[in-house]
Structure 1
Amino acid sequence: MTQALIPPGTPETPQLMELRREVRDFLVAERDSGRFTPGVDSWITGWDPDFSQRLADRGWVGMTIPTAYEGHGRTFVERFVVTEELIAVGAPVAAHWVADRQAAPSLLRFGTEEQKQYFLPRIAAGECFFAIGMSEPDSGSDLASVRTKARQVDGGWKVNGTKVWTSGAHASEAFFVLARTSPLDPAHRHAGLSQFIVDLGSDGVQVRPIISMTGQHHFNEVHLDDVFVPDARVLGDIGGGWHQVTSELSYERSGPERFLCTFPLFREQARYAASHPERRADPDLGRAFSRLRGLHHMSRAVNAAVERGENADTAAAVVKVLGTTFEGDLIEEVHMSDAVGEGNPLLDAGLLQRPGFTLRGGTNEVLLGVIARGLGLR
């Protein structure tokens, strides 16, 4: 069953190892010069456009965007190596993350030529940031229940509704909005949904901050009041929104950010064990390392499957469930150990961020249903 569920991966070639070393050297220099402070959950909380720009200058944003659209034409596996190193060190990558991870692949797959020409070069240059408008108040992870509606008007569509937990919407140029374009049919709940590229500066758009317990502002509620979206900004086919969204979720659920965003804490735990001989045989540390290695190989395999154009939805859901569960367990283990002292900023941030790990990108309870259906168990 495991072989059927998890696709084959790819080996770490000398070229990939050299790329990994190059990224590590860059990150060490950036950190040691004080250009960033490592953080937990940095792909959500670490908004630093200048850092994203420095990555783009090195060709590490828009890596998989073809050169025809001023990207770098590199492989998904090469991008995986770069993103894994960025997340593991806790680099502030939130500004470009959604645009690079989700928006660019979706535009390449479903976008018009005009949309590709307009957005992709600026994403690759680290100049265009995106957010995602899927979740809604009171809808949880049930995307088929969205109440945002789009009605056709002369030259485009008028969109009305509210999206929530839209990370970075307050500082992004645009976001993908999932809206209902046909009345809900209870027998076919996934039909009648479409996606739109909404300019966040449009008339009728209100971005309301959601402040976290840490005092940080990265989540938002976005209210859409009769927002006009021209026909040229429909993403893909009208009525094809469900298929498009589920393909996006493979990118969102399977990446290294689903198991490495607490890695700075694991590093502290390992350093503590190295300096305390009595802790070197700590079974918790050994289990954590084994889980990390397994998740690395699984995530890498899903990444390779996406590059081959294979359906990896079920495998991506497995990575997300196992990865975010591991992240929460790691925080608890570090908290209960002596690896870091009271008031450690990484641990404090991890404890506060932990509840969101198994919620965003689909709750683990919902994803277990996705996995069961993918295995033919439901």
Structure 2
Amino acid sequence: MSENVYIIGAGIHPFGRTEERSGREQGVYAVREALKDAGLEWADMECAYGGSAAAGSADIMVNELGLTSLPFTNVANGCATGGSALAAAQQAIASGMYDLALAVGFDKHPRGAFNAKPADYGLPDWYGQTGMMLTTQFFALKIQRYMQLHGISRTTLGRVAEKAFRNGAKTPHAWRRSEIDLETIMNAPMINDPLTKFMFCSPSEGGVALILASEKKAKELGALQNRGGVKIAKIAVKTRPPDSFEVFQPGVSVKEGGKPTVLASKAAFEGAGIGPEDVEVAQLQDTESGAEIMHMAENGFCKDGEQEEWLANGWSALGGKLPINTDGGCLACGEPIGASGLRQVYENVEQLRGRAGDRQVAGRDGKGPKLGYSHVYGAPGLSAVAILER
């Protein structure tokens, strides 16, 4: 395997609604921003990996970017599409085959809830007729169960959303850029008990692109100077083990099984040679408020039930001991499936470079964080974790 792999360029198209641009055009915009950030041209790229769920094949981007004959692989892995594209790009460089690679994700979803089809997940029609293909209902039932088992209150759900909108107000690429107070969140219309409308993310639009380089190439380009290059310490992608309880699953085991997030997190920490206590900024999948709460524990940052204390004391807020979802996460940015996982990594790149503006995390040395953690979870039960280091 080759030496270390670095992210040397990062670009984003603002999330939300952009009527005048297709999803692919938003992806192209992000790629051009990433190339500009890295000081490279499209012709310099040696391979590319990318995907979207609703905006067409990523490889068609070459029509706008240029016909350079580079190998471009389409990636489709649910909400983990972006994380999987990043993993593929990292592996392509680590193998020694390439020195420069692109990971890109974009999407453009219609308004309303995601409309998954049972047959696409190997499920019979009756599963959809029960309403369980509607993810708002599944996640509401999952967090109800978790709250009863571990003593989580509805107020804590509201505090997650309040934090998200507070951070989103400081983030230029966020969709929801207005703060919403806790009382408004708690008294908003109920979508699926116990989650109100401000506790859910929404399908949206956006694009993110990251340019990766081998250590040799990064040094050759001068990309490691002035915190320009961010090292990928470890990426791990895991699917569901036996007896886990995951989205689009027709039954729940009577046994307590493993979880894909726990497995991916453990593999990432072991591969990076660090522990949860070393992380200084984290981006966790927050499809809704309950997801962030559950993922805090599944990724090893606290024990089940301790989230009550964390949110009450502001420990996961900007200025807290572990800021989580510093750009507002999916709640404030929305979720364009192909781009969402890469947005998390983009945010950590900005944090580690010290370029996050009003939402910048100071880190333990006051010079910004040294270690950033991102986690994405998707149907039908898979997780991707990426740990970055400056």
- TM-score when scaled to structure 2? 0.24
**Normalized against structure 1, the TM-score is what?**
0.24
Which structure: greater helix fraction? 1
RCO higher in 1 or 2 (8 Å CA, sep ≥ 6)? Answer: 2
Q: Which has the larger Rg?
A: 1
